[in-house]
Amino acid sequence: MSFELNDEMSTMEIFKKSQESVELKELISKSSIVISNLLIGNFYDFVDINIARKEKEFSGWMIHDLEKCYEDDEDMEQMVIGDTVFPHSEFNGHKLELYHENRFEAALSLLKTLLDIFTGPILDAFYMTGTIPTPQISEFIVNTFHCKSIKECEKLMMFEDGISSKTMMDQVLDLATGLKKLDLRCPLPDDWRNPKVLKIDTLIAWPAEWFNTTDLLVNLDCECANINETNLSWKSFKAFMLKWQMTDDTRLKILEVSFDGDWEGFQLDGLETKEWDPEERDSHYPDLIKTPESDWFNCEFATDIPRKDGLLASFWRKTNSFHFVVWHDRRPIATLRPDPKQLVKLEDLEFADEDEEDDE
């Protein structure tokens, strides 16, 4: 008996093959098939697990509550997956509809079975809660992070349509030991505190009313951070720049923060600054938070902040946001060779309102 993996096989086709015999499942497991994208969705009355490999389309396993099943449907039949018996099931293209009396218990068991089949690393995981979060959903999400390949996944996005559980997020951050990039789209109470989230290499947070001035000045230890909808003021950003100029931090590369306020009263007093000198640095800085194909930041207009150790930073401000980059490589254009189309022109940019410009 043999198994030959080819690029045209969908994850559902591989799954079906693994169900034919124990021997085939073991052969497939030994192939260490990489999961390019794992999408786990929680909705009002079902859990949706979707898996893709490379750039192929997703295949999905949808687990419904058993009470939603129409027992007289002739296309339905019992299916055993791993240790779990699903009283009813139905294939629909690259989607397998399953029914169980406890959708969370069944979905967790199914997920473990799938990860026993697709044993390679997960490159990107996305959790979406498209209904009001509940304790059952939070518990299910936490339980999935006990799976080794999810725990070791480096890129994670989480979205919840409602106030998220602080306990759930704390437990996820404890379990996700391989996490390097977190895109956190979960509304959390403004009293939520967890130092681990501010030590991840790349953090995107939206909304982030929990992010305060102490976090900005003391706790933030990311390489790249994009933090949105905060309650900060320009005074916090001024204090941050003063501190950066006096310290020897060499980890930070990019910081972007949006806030519910304006720049009225902002001044540069106390900061050592200068205008852009083409002899000292490039005109553009790569957007390290997005993809290598993303547009670069135009920094021709940015204000430069030199430091005694020779490190140079630049900052600029928009109407409701603060932007700060550190030039670890002052000639990134020569180093990374971007497509010229990625180098955004100055006239295409938006600035803070003119009446907010004081002493720049």
pLDDT on residue 275:
97
pTM of the model: 0.92
Residue 354 has pLDDT above 60, yes or no: no
pLDDT per position as a tens digit, 161-174: 999 999 999 999 99
Give, in order, the Cα–Cα distances in Å from 274 to each of 38, 239, 304, 313, 352. 46, 18, 5, 11, 19
Give, in order, the Cα–Cα distances in Å from 184 to each of 121, 160, 292, 352. 21, 9, 21, 27
Give the pLDDT band (50/70/90) at residue 357: very low
Among the listed residues 278, 305, 283, the one whose alpha carbon sits nearest the alpha carbon of residue 296? 283
pLDDT per position as a tens digit, 299-346: 999 999 999 999 999 999 999 999 999 999 999 999 999 999 999 987
- Mean pLDDT value across the chain: 93
Domain ranges of the chain: 21-120, 265-360
Opening angle at CA 138, ends 135 and 141, nearest 5: 150
pLDDT per position as a tens digit, 91-138: 988 899 999 999 999 999 999 999 999 999 999 999 999 999 999 999
pLDDT per position as a tens digit, 216-260: 999 999 999 999 999 999 999 999 999 999 999 999 999 999 999
DSSP string covering 326-352, please?
Answer: E-SSS-HHHHH---GGGB--GGG----
Cβ atoms of 133 and 106 within 8 Å: the answer is no
Among the listed residues 88, 168, 95, 176, the one whose alpha carbon sits nearest the alpha carbon of residue 134? 168
Residue type, 157: M
pLDDT on residue 356:
44
